[in-house]
Amino acid sequence: MSDSFRFNHHFLTSLIIIITTLKSVHTITTTNTEFVKSSCTFTTYPRLCFASLSTQASLIQTSPKLMAHAALNITLASAKSTSAMMVRLSNSRFKPREVSAMRDCVEVLGDTLEELRKSIGEMCELSGSNYEVYMSDIQTWVSAALTYENTCMDGFQGDDMNGKVKVLVRRRILVIAQLTSNALALINHFASIHG
């Protein structure tokens, strides 16, 4: 009888520990997700912000710096995939003007990628003594990336462009521009908290 009691007591104690741990994990996950959601209110495109960053909540935790860093990484990944798509499209059979616009866009996206990579590298280097210089660089580079994306969309103006290609490219570039805008807003928010 006492062995049975000990087993039941041990089992119940283990069960309570497991339930408490699961509640704690759930609370942390909820807190991280709520942090992402509330941080996204500082952006121009909060729904896109939350959709793109909520899956990173456990990595971001409740850090504005990690939030800005994750936003930059997601923007970089989107710009890379769009650039690769544009390279494939530019090798297809389209009118010379369309191919030229796509190749120009690939070149401009290359500049965007470079600005985003530099920004991500600088985010890793932020420190007390060089914080303001690095933050200023990051804000400048991300703003420049946003300008490049707008330049890419300008190349697809006009009625003589293939409608489907124009819509596809503009949609993808628009998403990158919105992600970049959100990343810049999160960087600016982090800078205002830190500074």
Least reliable range by pLDDT among 24-28, 34-38, 137-141: 24-28
With cut-offs at 50, 70 and 90, classify the pLDDT of residue 36.
Answer: very high
> What percent of the chain has a predicted confidence (pLDDT) above 90?
41
Residue 135 · residue 192 · CB < 8 Å: no
The predicted pLDDT at position 27 comes to 46
Residue 132 · residue 195 · CB < 8 Å: yes
Would you say residue 46 has pLDDT above 60?
A: yes
Across the range 68-75, mean pLDDT stands at 95
Across the range 149-178, mean pLDDT stands at 79
**What CA–CA distance (Å, rounded) separates 41 from 109?**
27
Per-residue tokens: 33: 């997700």
Domains delineated in the chain: 2-194 (1.20.140.40)
Burial class (CB in 10 A: 0-12, 13-18, 19+), 142: buried
- In degrees and rounded to multiples of 5, residue 13 shows phi and psi of -65, -45
Across the range 173-186, mean pLDDT stands at 94
H-only helix segments in 40-95: 46-53, 57-60, 64-90
* Residue among 113, 118, 122, 112 nearest 191 (CA): 122
The predicted pLDDT at position 194 comes to 74
pTM greater than the 0.85 cutoff: no
